[in-house]
Amino acid sequence: MRASVASLPPRRVRAFTLIELLVVIAIIAVLIALLLPAVQAAREAARRSQCVNNLKQLGLAMHNYHSSNDSFPMGRTGMGFNYPASNGDPNRRTWAFNILANIEQGPLYNAINFSRTFYDWSNTTAMRTEVVAYNCPSDPGCTIVLSPSDAQTVRSNGNYMVNWGNTTWYQDVTNPSFNPYVGPLPPTTGLPYLAAPFTANKAINFSAIVDGTSNTLMMSEIICPESKGPYNPDVDHRGDIWNDDQNCSMFMAYSTPNSKTIDQVPGYCVSTDLKRSNPPCIVTSSLPGFNAARSYHSGGVNALMCDGSVKFTKDAVNLAIWRGLSSMNGQEVISADSY
């Protein structure tokens, strides 16, 4: 006879309590909070590495251009300087045009109508083309065109600027004369211009770099500002690499990288009270222009030297050292561990 088996009560399955669930969620949130900065730091390290590669590519392009032409490209060509004058408006352009073929942008170079000025309708398509090698991936604003509401003045921007020396846009011109330059930073007696590898209407070669190519800046980077609108004074010239005007395709070492000293931009800048992400600036009509090297990299900027090497220069670099690196004939003695 089969033995009867007593029926067992149903087994209770224990679930998470609300408190336990909240604890697990809190632990996951803490882990995410701990990991997110590390992920962001890794991404920025990758972007910074790409920025270095971009500058090395530009340095190689400059050297290849020098090999073919026995000089670097002119910093800008156009009127308004006491150097030999160009033949008017069609010659208004910058170094950014000249090295396009050396950064594998031959088709873009061939598409430019050099018989017309850079802002002519015939060059609209070319000027709107974004050149990746001219943009730092850490800067989210450099894909923004200069004036998105005005069809003719739409142009792509760039982060990488040539070294315009230790003073201002006017450098050593005699009329108006700002050499030596007496400005908001020392010395109060005036800062003399000590020559730079890029200038207006004049090409510089290696033999002119008396201080040595490894001790002289070729290029650095800036933060692309955002324009407020299409018309003056709602546009910002800083980063307008195709334009030969003041503060467009160059930086000055008058102030240190990411300096709190306000950039002086004659006529065309949008200050931080209008666009909070913009670098500080003041619009002036009577003072010469200067704009500092700036970047989104923490603690400094990448800088390309004239020998083709790229170095990370800290914001805390001594002002005299930074100015010395920008000059090519100052005969400063600069230690490699001082910047």
pLDDT tens column, 146-194:
655 555 567 889 999 999 999 999 998 887 889 999 999 999 899 999 9
| Report for 25-29, 231-235, 317-321: range of highest mean pLDDT | 317-321
β-bridge mates for residue 281, sequence order: 263
Does residue 68 have a pLDDT over 60? Answer: yes
Identify which of 178, 153, 161, 133 has the alpha carbon closest to the alpha carbon of residue 75: 161
Q: Is pLDDT of 86 > 70?
A: no
Mean pLDDT of the chain: 86
**pLDDT level of residue 36 (50, 70, 90 thresholds):** confident
Enumerate the β-bridge partners of residue 200: 76
- pLDDT, residue 143, reads 67
Angstrom distance (rounded) from CA 59 to CA 63: 6
pTM for this one?
0.85
User: Residues 303-313: what's their mean pLDDT?
Assistant: 97
CA-CA-CA-CA torsion sign (166, 67, 99, 121) = positive
Burial class (CB in 10 A: 0-12, 13-18, 19+), 142: buried
Of residues 96, 76, 90, the one with CA closest to residue 119: 90
Q: Which of 129 and 2 is assigned the larger pLDDT?
A: 129
pLDDT band at 8 (very low <50, low <70, confident <90, very high): low
User: What percentage of the chain carries pLDDT values higher than 70?
Assistant: 85
Identify whether 73 is preceded by a cis peptide bond (ω within 30 of 0): no
Residue showing tokens 């109508």: 113
Helix (H) or strand (E) holding 30: helix 18-69
Evaluate whether 233 touches 283 at the Cβ level (below 8 Å).
yes
Q: Give the per-residue pLDDT at 2.
A: 52
CB 75 within 8 A of CB 164: yes
| Mean pLDDT, rounded, for 91-120 | 91
Instruction: Assign residue 201 a region (left: φ > 0; alpha: ψ between -120 and 50; beta: otherwise).
Output: left
* 339 pLDDT above the threshold of 90: no
What are the angstrom distances between the C-alpha of 197 and each of 77, 95, 161, 165?
A: 15, 12, 12, 8
User: Is-contact 229 149, C-beta < 8 A?
Assistant: yes
**SS3 label, residue 257:** coil
The Cβ of residue 274 has, within 10 Å, a number of other Cβ atoms equal to 15
- pLDDT bracket for residue 258 (50, 70, 90): very high
The CA-CA-CA angle for residues 268, 220, 111, to 5°, reads 70
CA angle 236, 95, 183 (to 5 degrees): 50
* Residue 11 clears pLDDT 50, i.e. is over it: yes
What span, in angstroms and rounded, lies between the C-alpha atoms of 152 and 249? 19
Task: Count CB-CB contacts under 10 A for residue 29.
Answer: 10
- Flag whether pLDDT at 311 surpasses 50: yes
Give the integer Cα–Cα distance in Å for 249 and 99.
14
Count of other CB atoms within 10 angstroms of residue 120: 15
